Copies of this chain bind each other. A is one copy, B any other.
């Protein structure tokens, strides 16, 4: 393959984040293939054309199936609401195209399983947008763990909290719908579960507690009509990892003061590390024999960072994590990828989230 044609579906927050990443990746990395921004799709044709022009895509489509069918498109990036991931990914896989889908993979384990099977049958590269894992600080965390510098892992405390739904007047949206994989657990928690699996490995058993604090919300912004809510505003769980470590998990979109608080602390018999996405360029690390926690700053010695800056401490932004994810996706296309969540792994994340829901509903430990 000499050129890789990109087709992007969706023009919202994540659509633009993908577009930026595809634009940047060839400027910051030496790529093994040439990228071609082939097509952009949005149900609103005018918006599709406008964004295609602004973001540098060759064509615009209002019908996403046409984008998938476009022979110039080799890889389909899906950034639409959760319930559309399934039909779009299935169609792309049926067309034999690589798929880069935003998280969560699907709105049910059943869908996720079908998608994983279709991907396996198609034999194409798949990726799901758990972009936080591509942070050089997280890659460093993984290396510290893999190299045994923390010793045997014994505990994990993780929390992903934001406050964008903390106001009970924040209106109902698809994020509040059960059939769209709504709720804090799906929306935020799945990122943390993916992270826990990436760093700690398989989770064998969970016990959990989920809660709907605000049982109704305005049907739309400012509306007096109230819609009932059944999905979780916050979720807490105990985790038992296959490696013997134990831990806690929390996820909330009601926690005042937090904007992107994907945070965790991992301890082993030789040390402890801690991370908070609100300071994504830092890692706190304590190794046996140190006098206190060190605050590490991201720098060019870490994988990926040097592509953006030769100087340490100059900080990557959220969007650059997406560029790093896309870089790994492209490397995977030529068999050189080292990192990233494929459909198989994303299915495992969905299974874990589902186990948490079952454990909470049935008030018991659930084995995986």
Where the two chains meet, the residues of A that have a C-beta atom closer than 8 Å to any C-beta of B are: 13, 16-17, 19-20, 23-24, 26-28, 30, 54-56, 154-155, 157, 159, 162, 164, 166-168, 207-209, 211, 213, 233-234, 236-238, 240, 246-250, 252, 254-261, 267-272, 277-280, 285-288, 290-297, 299, 308-320, 363-365
User: A312 to B256, alpha carbons, bound, how many Å?
Assistant: 13
Q: Are A271 and B250 in contact (CB under 8 A)?
A: no
Q: With CB as the reference atom, state the residue of chain B lying closest to A309.
A: B318
Known: A237-B238, A255-B267, A293-B295. A308 touches B313 (CB 8 A): no
Residue from A30, A164, A291, A310 whose CB has the most chain B CB atoms within 10 Å? A291
User: A212 to B360, alpha carbons, bound, how many Å?
Assistant: 26
* Of B250, B272, B278, B317, the contact of A255 (CB 8 Å cutoff): B272
Q: A155-B255, A234-B246 are in contact. List 6 more A-B contacts (CB 8 A).
A: A20-B28, A208-B238, A279-B279, A309-B319, A316-B317, A317-B317
* Of B164, B279, B296, B310, the contact of A311 (CB 8 Å cutoff): B164
Q: Are A256 and B280 in contact (CB under 8 A)?
A: no
Known: A269-B166, A319-B309. A155 touches B238 (CB 8 A): no
Q: Are B260 and A211 in contact (CB under 8 A)?
A: no
User: A267 to B280, alpha carbons, bound, how many Å?
Assistant: 23
Q: Are B20 and A234 in contact (CB under 8 A)?
A: no
Q: Are A278 and B297 in contact (CB under 8 A)?
A: yes
A101 to chain B, nearest CB (A): 20
Q: With CB as the reference atom, state the residue of chain B lying closest to A152.
A: B213
Known: A20-B28, A259-B314, A269-B213. A207 touches B319 (CB 8 A): no
User: A363 to B233, alpha carbons, bound, how many Å?
Assistant: 26
User: A19 to B307, alpha carbons, bound, how many Å?
Assistant: 13
A200 to chain B, nearest CB (A): 14
* Of B16, B27, B268, the contact of A54 (CB 8 Å cutoff): B27
Nearest 3 pairs between A and B by C-beta? A259-B313, A317-B317, A257-B286
User: A285 to B56, alpha carbons, bound, how many Å?
Assistant: 40
The interface residues of chain B lying within 8 Å CB-to-CB of A319 are: 308-309, 317, 320
A46 to chain B, nearest CB (A): 15
A296 to chain B, nearest CB (A): 4
